Amino acid sequence: MGDIVDPGTGLTERQKTAVRESWAKMGKDNIVEFYFRLFTTFPHIRAYFKTLDGLDQDALKISPKLRAHAINFRHGVSSFIDNLDDIECLVILIQKVTENHFRRNIKPKPFEEAFSLFTTFVGDVQEVDEFTLNAWKATLATVLSVITEHMKTLEEQTDGH
């Protein structure tokens, strides 16, 4: 039963459970740390965050703006995880996030980088097995495919096609 693939997300029930349990263990501090790592690993991603301009590493680490960004991300990801069983709602939620970022000229590539780093991060801060890490990879690949697809549509609309 747990191994039957949900055709909407491409995930099995066991994979969804693994991701839900892992996500539930991610506290605010973890996500703040993830964001700090994201910005230090990918300075070009940080460059999109104009409100963080001028902060050095030490100031960034304790910045309330960094914490606020982390909270935004956390709420967004939580809404995805909470709706893994409702693909129609999930797609709308992801499309909304895509539109908010498309307006800021953010392409799928930074999402791909952020997601790949996130899986590594989970492995670093939690005691997770290979199954859970692969479940995260599969989940984020599904999210990324919706983002990429929707960005294409938005670009076509912008081009006037």
Say if CB 12 and CB 80 are below 8 A apart.
Answer: no
Q: Which of 14, 67, 101, 137 binds ligand HEM (CB under 6 A)?
A: 101
- Give the whole-angstrom CA distance, residue 86 versus residue 127: 28
**Is 108 or 130 the residue whose CB approaches ligand HEM more closely?**
108
Q: Is 54 left (phi over 0), alpha (psi -120 to 50) or beta?
A: left
Q: Which stretch binds ligand HEM (CB under 6 A): 10-18, 44-52, 54-62, 127-135?
A: 44-52
Say if CB 30 and CB 99 are below 8 A apart.
Answer: no
- Per-residue binder mask for ligand HEM (CB under 6 A), 122-161, x = binder: ----------------------------------------
76 binds ligand HEM (CB under 6 A): yes
